[in-house]
Structure 1
């Protein structure tokens, strides 16, 4: 699986779910489980790469404005939500986080469930019940794709007083 196929799966599931993340998760799992184990692992690796790419102080500032706080978990789940919005929204936000003001209607956006899609699909595809070193997240981590502890936040750190000027559209909507 390549990034184009990854984004096609994300976009297709998002479109079919009409904003219902539980349905989006189910659609992703059912679409992904028809692939072979290596392609499911590729999906997980691409997801990890994107979560690492989105580990940026600009994205963190956007989440701070939108939700009012940032913690390790909420920041990760927000980045999952960002990936779940599809390639176009993801790329725009990476380039200019303030573009999220046009996408978001409500605060507290997260899509934690995206972290488990490849594992669920892998279990269904292989019939394995117990996780081991062959599972997607373990393989991704072994390849150095650890979005939890191996990633370093990119960009320039900020203070709360900088947020209104840094992301004016988001600040106007959620600040």
Structure 2
């Protein structure tokens, strides 16, 4: 499976199903019909794309979009959500996290308390973390087959965020203005009461 194949599957999941749960099931079902080696490649492509956005700058963007509700796990789930936005959007925001201010998905959340967001509006996609895992099990019948296939290559499945860039205070308005000016302007200086 090439990187192009990976992004084609992500795109098709968005056009052929609705909502994250349906997209995850669509991807799982389609991957399960492919050779096990391609399922491993899908996992590796997802991990490589996540690594590109596994930064504290991106975490600060997620933190502010989610109005402070972005723990370690929250940021881990935010990363596949970014992938789910599709290749063009992902490339833009991976290069410049402040470009999230231009996305429809973020603009529709701006100014609204998180208590009003629907499940599909939340900028996270936890179930994408398990697509290759479940597809591999369906394809091979091996419950921990994906982990074993990765280990055979000297790799392990990544299961948490681990940014290594410079720490900063996501709530500090001056730092937000300097690092994420457009996102800060869109979201405002204070978070609405959730």
Fold similarity call, TM over 0.5: yes
Could you report, residue by residue, the CA deviation over 1:23-65 in whole angstroms, capped at 9, with x for unpaired residues? 1111111221111001001101111122122111221111011
Alignment of 1:90-129 (within 5 A): 90-103=90-103, 104=106, 105-106=108-109, 108-128=122-142
Aligned equivalents of 1:58, 1:118: Cα separation in 2: 28
Question: Residue 118 of structure 1 contacts residue 136 of structure 1 at CA under 8 Å; is this kept in 2?
Answer: no
C-alpha distance in structure 1 between counterparts of 2:90 and 2:14, whole Å: 13
Query: How has the CA–CA distance of structure 1 residues 39 and 8 changed in structure 2, closer, same or farther, with 3 Å as cutoff?
Result: same
1:52-91 pair list within 5 angstroms: 52-69=51-68, 70-91=70-91
> Residues 119, 137 of structure 1: CA spacing in aligned structure 2 closer, same or farther, 3 A cutoff?
farther
1:4 corresponds to: 4
Residue correspondence of structure 1 range 93-172 to structure 2 within 5 A: 93-103=93-103, 104=106, 105-106=108-109, 108-128=122-142, 130-131=143-144, 134-136=145-147, 139=150, 142-143=154-155, 146=158, 148=160, 151-154=162-165, 156-159=166-169, 160-161=172-173, 162-172=175-185
The residue aligned with 2:17 is 17
Cα deviation 1:79-122 (Å, max 9, x = unaligned)? 11011111111111111111111222226410000000001111
Kindly indicate whether the alpha-carbon contact (under 8 Å) linking 2:147 and 2:157 is maintained by their aligned counterparts in 1.
no
> Do the aligned residues in 2 keep the contact of 1:122 with 1:135 (CA within 8 Å)?
yes
Count the aligned residue pairs. 169
Structure 2: runs of 5 or more not aligned: 115-121, 189-194
Alignment RMSD: 2.2
1:29, 1:117 within 8 Å by CA — same for their partners in 2? yes
Q: 1:93 to 1:29 in 2, by over 3 A?
A: same
Sort the Cα spacing of 1:169 and 1:152 in 2 relative to 1 into closer, same or farther, 3 A.
closer
TM-score by length of 2: 0.77
Q: TM-score, normalised by structure 1?
A: 0.85
| Segment drifting more, 136-145 vs 5-14 | 136-145
Q: In structure 1, what is the equivalent of residue 34 of structure 2?
A: 35
Q: Secondary structure in 2 aligned to 1:146? A: coil
**Change over 3 Å in CA distance of 1:40–1:136 after alignment to 2:** farther
